[in-house]
């Protein structure tokens, strides 16, 4: 799976979780940018990435995924 494929899938996941953010802003999104990215959204984000990419993300790694870009990098390193 190419990095571009991963970005495209993650973009769709982020759109579903953060519908209030404009699509073109999602690639730059960080957890600190919006209050909706709270601990519950983080749980849902991790579950979504695990579910879509057939991954198991350990707690330490999960806590470090705090931006769209970090998610892309992490998934790219795993698949």
Q: Does 35 bind another protein (CB under 8 A)?
A: no
42-48 contact pairs (CB < 8 A, 24+): 44/17, 45/13, 45/17, 45/71, 48/13, 48/16, 48/17
H or E element in which residue 68 lies: helix 68-78
Smallest distance from another protein to CB 54, Å: 5
Which of 20, 24, 32, 58 contacts another protein by CB under 8 A? 58
- What is the three-class DSSP state of 65? coil
Smallest distance from another protein to CB 8, Å: 10
Q: Does 21 bind another protein (CB under 8 A)?
A: no
- Interface stretch with another protein, choices 21-29, 30-38, 55-63, 65-73 (CB under 8 A): 55-63
Q: Does 16 bind another protein (CB under 8 A)?
A: yes
């Amino acid at each position: 799976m190419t990095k571009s494929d991963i970005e495209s899938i993650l973009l769709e996941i982020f759109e579903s979780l953060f519908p209030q953010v404009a699509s073109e802003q999602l690639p730059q999104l960080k957890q600190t940018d919006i209050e909706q990215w709270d601990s519950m959204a983080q749980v849902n984000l991790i579950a979504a990435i695990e579910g879509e990419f057939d991954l198991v993300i350990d707690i330490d790694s999960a806590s470090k995924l705090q931006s769209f870009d970090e998610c892309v990098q992490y998934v790219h390193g795993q698949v």
